[in-house]
Chains A and B, each alone.
Chain A
Amino acid sequence: KAGVTQTPRYLIKTRGQQVTLSCSPISGHRSVSWYQQTPGQGLQFLFEYFSETQRNKGNFPGRFSGRQFSNSRSEMNVSTLELGDSALYLCASSWRRGQNLASTDTQYFGPGTRLTVL
């Protein structure tokens, strides 16, 4: 089974621009989460989507948005880029068993998109 794929792998943008990152989950996985990773900051949760609905959202400004399509593929968008947005953006998919919030499943991470804002 193919793993989680993310495109593009590397991206260079300038301040003020916007960017769209894409994530294709493992076939059959319906939940997609996005994380921002910067040196010394660990994995900062952005948002989670399940069946095209945002289920959870982290503490990021409204410039960060996302969506999920009917085939479970997900995109995240960052508008008006700032220097501090430079990071590795990781997408993770999981097989969410229905909508039972009493448990969680293994997160399968993609290779990430390395965004550099100049």
Chain B
Amino acid sequence: GQQVMQIPQYQHVQEGEDFTTYCNSSTTLSNIQWYKQRPGGHPVFLIQLVKSGEVKKQKRLTFQFGEAKKNSSLHITATQTTDVGTYFCAGYSSGSRLTFGEGTQLTVNP
């Protein structure tokens, strides 16, 4: 079945440093979604990427979808303490279902 792998599992950064999490799928994806879960909270939708090579930005967050539509990344520039949480990617393949990666837990030291 479809597998979505995400690395790293944990990332500790100093406030102001950049952060990147990577997502890789065993199959070609129709689209990929990113979610953020704050400590003690529930996952909240951030963005969806659909096109090959697509790049989208949300303020300090940059999302990319690979040319082969099998990988994606989320990059945060100049992290802030408000960025703390676990970031999940979720990939969808036609005929399958949405599959979540294991998440990257980000901690930011002030």
Give chain A's interface residues, CB within 8 Å of chain B: 33, 35, 40-43, 45, 48, 55-56, 90, 92, 101-104, 106-112
Contact = CB atoms under 8 A, between A and B. Distances in A.
B31 interface: yes
By CB atoms of chain B within 10 A, which of A42, A110, A111 has the most? A42
A90 B94 contact: no
Interface in B60-104: 88, 90, 92, 94-95, 97-103
B31 A43 contact: no
Interface residues of B, number: 23
18 contacts: A33-B98, A40-B102, A42-B100, A42-B101, A43-B103, A45-B98, A48-B97, A90-B42, A90-B43, A101-B94, A101-B95, A104-B98, A107-B33, A107-B90, A108-B45, A110-B42, A111-B41, A112-B42
A57 to B, nearest CB: 9
A103 B29 CA distance: 10
Contacts of B94: 101-102
A111 B92 contact: no
Contact of A104 (B9, B31, B42): B31
Given A56-B97, A103-B30, A42 B45 contact: no
A104 B50 CA distance: 11
A106 B48 contact: yes
A43 B30 contact: no
Contacts of A90: 42-43
Given A45-B97, A102-B94, A109 B43 contact: yes
A40 B9 CA distance: 8
A42 B102 contact: yes
A106 B100 contact: no
Nearest to B6: A42
A107 B42 contact: no
A42 B42 contact: no
A51 to B, nearest CB: 16
